[in-house]
Amino acid sequence: MSKQVAILTGGGDCPGLNAVIRAATWKLAHEYGYQVLGVREGWRGLLEDDIVELDIGSVSGILPVGGTILRTSRTNPFSEEGGVERLLETVESRGIDAVVAVGGDDTLGVAARLYEEHGLDMIGVPKTIDNDLSGTDYTFGFDTAVQIATEAIDRLHSTAESHNRVIVVEVMGRHAGWIAVMSGIAGGADVVLIPEQELTIEDTCEIIRKRHARGKDFSIVVVSEGFELKSAEGDGGLVVQSEEVDAFGHARLGGVGNLLSREIERRTGFETRATVLGHVQRGGTPTARDRVLATRYGIRASELVHEGRFGRMVALAGDEIVDVPLAEAAGELKRVPPELWRIAETFFG
Ligand code: F6P
C-alpha cells in the first residue's frame, strides 16, 4: 500500500491555505503516488477521526479561494483529557505515515510536541496573517492582510480629510505589530501604535496636535489590537473583548481602537472616529505573492515528506525556501524590529 500523508490546517484561517493544500496534494499524490488525506478542522479531525481523501480533482479550482476547504479550529489535543491518546489512535488505525500541519505558533507547537514526545512524523508549514512566527522571514497570508489594511487606510484618508476628522484604524496583530507597521508605512499613517513600542495616549495626542498645528486638519492613526493603551501615569493596558480564553490560553482582543478614539477626542477636541478592520483582513482571495509563497511551501513540505526529513518546518529565508527545526517556530515570537518602526515614525506629526 502506498504511503498515507495527512494534511491539516489549524488556528485562525488565512488567505493561501488552499494554495498549500493544492500544491501538496499535486506533489504528494500526482508526483509521488502517495495517498493524501485531508484532516478536517485542524487537530479536531485527528481526535475525532474526521478525515477525507484528497486528490487532484478535489483540489481543483481552490488556488484563488480564501479560507480552507478543510476548515479549521483552535482545538488543542494537549489541553483535552485523553486528547493525545485519541489522536494517536486515529493515526494508528488509519495507517497515517506522516502529517503536514499548516498553522501558526499554537498549531506548530502541538506538531513539535507530537514529533518530539510521541514520535509522530511531522512537517510544519508556517501561516498567520500576523507574521509573528520565528524561523521564517514571512508567513503566507500576511501580504494579503497588509494589502487589505492599506486599501482601507487609503479609503479612510479621503473621508477623514473631507470631515476634518481623526480616524483610528484598528488592525489585527495579537503579539506583534507587523500588519500595523507595514500598512501604516504603505498607507502613510500619521501615527502607528504597535505592541513592541511604548507610546502613551498623551504622546499620541501630542503628535496629532503638532500635525494639526502645521495646517493639517485630519489624521490617520493605525493601532494593533495587541497594543497596550496606557496613560502617562501608566494606567491601562491590553484591551480585551472578554476574559474568556481559548484552548491555547489566548484572550479575545479588540476594542483598543474605540477606546483610543474616545480619548483622542476628549483630550484634543478633534472629532474622532474608529474603524475596526477585524476579520476582513483574513477573508477572501490571497494576493499573487501569498499564492506563490503558499505554493512553494506546499511543494517543499511534500519534498521533505518524500525525503523522510521530519520534525522540520518549511521557511522563507531571503527569497529561498529552506527548512528549520519545527521547535524553532513554536519558540520565541518574531517581533517588529525597531528600525522598521522608526521608518513609520519618521512621518509622525
Ligand atoms: O492569529 C491570527 C489572528 O487573526 C490574530 O490577529 C487575532 O487576534 C486572532 O487571530 C483572532 O482570532 P479569532 O478568529 O479566533 O477571533
Q: Say which amino acid occupies 74.
A: R
253 lines ligand 1 (CB under 6 A): yes
- List the one residue out of 76, 77, 96 whose CA is nearest residue 86: 77
Sign of CA dihedral 341, 343, 344, 345: positive
**Closest ligand 1 atom number to CA of residue 246:** 15
Q: Which residue's CA is the nearest one to ligand 1's atom 8?
A: 174
Residue 129 lies in a domain: yes
Place of cell 500588519: 179
Judgement on whether residues 290 and 276 belong to the same structural domain of the protein: no
Q: Pairing state of beta strands 240-245 and 251-253?
A: antiparallel
Burial profile 297-310: b = 16 or more Cβ within 10 angstroms, e = fewer: bbbbbbbbbbeeeb
Q: How far is the CA of 1 from the centre of ligand 1 (A)?
A: 40
What count of Cα atoms within 13 Å lies in the side-chain half-sphere of residue 185? 15
173 lines ligand 1 (CB under 6 A): yes
Residue 305 lies in a domain: yes
Give the residue numbers spanning the domain of 161: 143-282
Judgement on whether residues 16 and 130 belong to the same structural domain of the protein: yes
Residue 349 lies in a domain: no
Judgement on whether residues 269 and 307 belong to the same structural domain of the protein: no
Predicted local confidence at residue 331, as pLDDT:
80
Predicted local confidence at residue 242, as pLDDT:
84
Q: Pairing state of beta strands 166-171 and 219-224?
A: parallel
Q: What pTM did the predictor assign?
A: 0.97
220 lines ligand 1 (CB under 6 A): no
Mean pLDDT by 10 residues, the chain (349 residues): 94 97 98 98 98 98 98 97 98 98 96 98 98 96 98 98 98 96 98 98 98 97 97 91 89 94 98 98 98 98 98 98 92 94 97
Judgement on whether residues 106 and 200 belong to the same structural domain of the protein: no
Judgement on whether residues 113 and 148 belong to the same structural domain of the protein: no
Residue 341 lies in a domain: no
H/E element, 274: strand 272-276
Q: Among 282, 297, 321, where does a domain finish?
A: 282
Domain count, the chain: 2
Predicted local confidence at residue 23, as pLDDT:
98
CB 219 within 8 A of CB 160: yes
Predicted local confidence at residue 243, as pLDDT:
81
Predicted local confidence at residue 253, as pLDDT:
92
Nine-digit cell string for 340: 522598521
Residue 347 lies in a domain: no
Judgement on whether residues 17 and 134 belong to the same structural domain of the protein: yes
281 lines ligand 1 (CB under 6 A): no
Judgement on whether residues 150 and 276 belong to the same structural domain of the protein: yes
Predicted local confidence at residue 106, as pLDDT:
95
153 vs 174: CA distance, rounded Å: 20
Nine-digit cell string for 279: 476579520
Residue 340 lies in a domain: no
Judgement on whether residues 71 and 169 belong to the same structural domain of the protein: no
Per-residue DSSP letters for 120-131? --EEEEEB-TT-
Residue 346 lies in a domain: no
Q: Is 137 a catalytic residue?
A: no
Predicted local confidence at residue 349, as pLDDT:
92
Nine-digit cell string for 334: 518574531
Residue 312 lies in a domain: yes
Predicted local confidence at residue 329, as pLDDT:
81
H/E element, 200: none
* Alpha helix (H) residue ranges in the chain: 17-25, 43-47, 83-94, 105-118, 142-163, 178-187, 201-213, 256-268, 288-307, 326-329, 338-345
Judgement on whether residues 120 and 176 belong to the same structural domain of the protein: no
Nine-digit cell string for 346: 519618521
Judgement on whether residues 92 and 20 belong to the same structural domain of the protein: yes
Q: What is the CATH number of the domain that holds 293?
A: 3.40.50.450
Judgement on whether residues 265 and 305 belong to the same structural domain of the protein: no
40 lines ligand 1 (CB under 6 A): no
Judgement on whether residues 56 and 126 belong to the same structural domain of the protein: yes
Q: Choose, from 97, 106, 121, 130, the residue flagged as catalytic.
A: 130
H/E element, 321: strand 320-325
181 vs 167: CA distance, rounded Å: 16
Q: What is the CATH number of the domain that holds 246?
A: 3.40.50.460
Q: How far is the CA of 128 from the centre of ligand 1 (A)?
A: 9
For ligand 1, pick from 129, 172, 282 the residue to mutate: most ligand atoms within 8 Å of CB.
172
349 vs 197: CA distance, rounded Å: 17
CB 84 within 8 A of CB 21: no
266 vs 250: CA distance, rounded Å: 31
Q: Among 244, 265, 282, where does a domain finish?
A: 282
